Amino acid sequence: MRDFKGRTAFVTGGASGIGLGLARAFLGLGMNVMLADIEAASLDRALVELGSHGDAVRGLVVDVADRQALEQAAAAAIAAFGRVHVLCNNAGVAVGGPQEKIAPADWNWILGVNLMGVVHGIQAFLPHIKAHGEGGHIVNTASMAGLHSAPMLGPYCASKFAVVALSEGLAGELTGSGVGVSVLCPGWVRTRIDQSGRNRPQGAAEASPAADTTMSRVFAELIQAGMDPAQVAECVLDAIRNDDLYIVTHPDMRGLVEERFRRIQAAFDRSAAREAAGRVPAAR
| Active-site amino acid positions | 156
Counting beta carbons within 10 angstroms of the beta carbon of residue 266, is it exposed (0 to 12), middle (13 to 18) or buried (19 or more)?
exposed
Q: What is the DSSP pairing of strand 179-185 with strand 32-37?
A: unpaired
Closest approach of ligand NAD to the CB of residue 279, in Å: 42
Q: Is 208 helix (H, G, I), strand (E, B) or coil?
A: coil
Closest approach of ligand NAD to the CB of residue 264, in Å: 22
Closest approach of ligand NAD to the CB of residue 195, in Å: 7
Closest approach of ligand NAD to the CB of residue 5, in Å: 25
Distance from the first to the final alpha carbon of the chain: 42
Alpha helices in the chain (DSSP H): 17-28, 40-49, 67-81, 104-110, 117-132, 154-173, 204-207, 217-224, 229-242, 254-276
Q: Which is nearer to ligand NAD, 129 or 227 (CB)?
A: 227
Q: Is 112 helix (H, G, I), strand (E, B) or coil?
A: helix
Q: Which is nearer to ligand NAD, 8 or 213 (CB)?
A: 213
Residue 9's H or E segment, with its range, is strand 8-12
Q: Which is nearer to ligand NAD, 37 or 212 (CB)?
A: 37
Closest approach of ligand NAD to the CB of residue 72, in Å: 13
Residue 59: phi and psi, rounded to 5, are -140, 150
- The residues of the shown chain that bind ligand NAD, judged by CB under 6 A, are 12-13, 15-19, 37-39, 42, 62-65, 90-93, 113, 141, 143, 186, 188-189, 191-193, 199, 223, 226
Q: Which is nearer to ligand NAD, 36 or 129 (CB)?
A: 36
Tally Cβ neighbours within 10 Å of residue 68. 10
- Rounded to 5°, angle at Cα 142 from 87 and 203: 95
Q: Which is nearer to ligand NAD, 102 or 275 (CB)?
A: 102
Tally Cβ neighbours within 10 Å of residue 282. 8
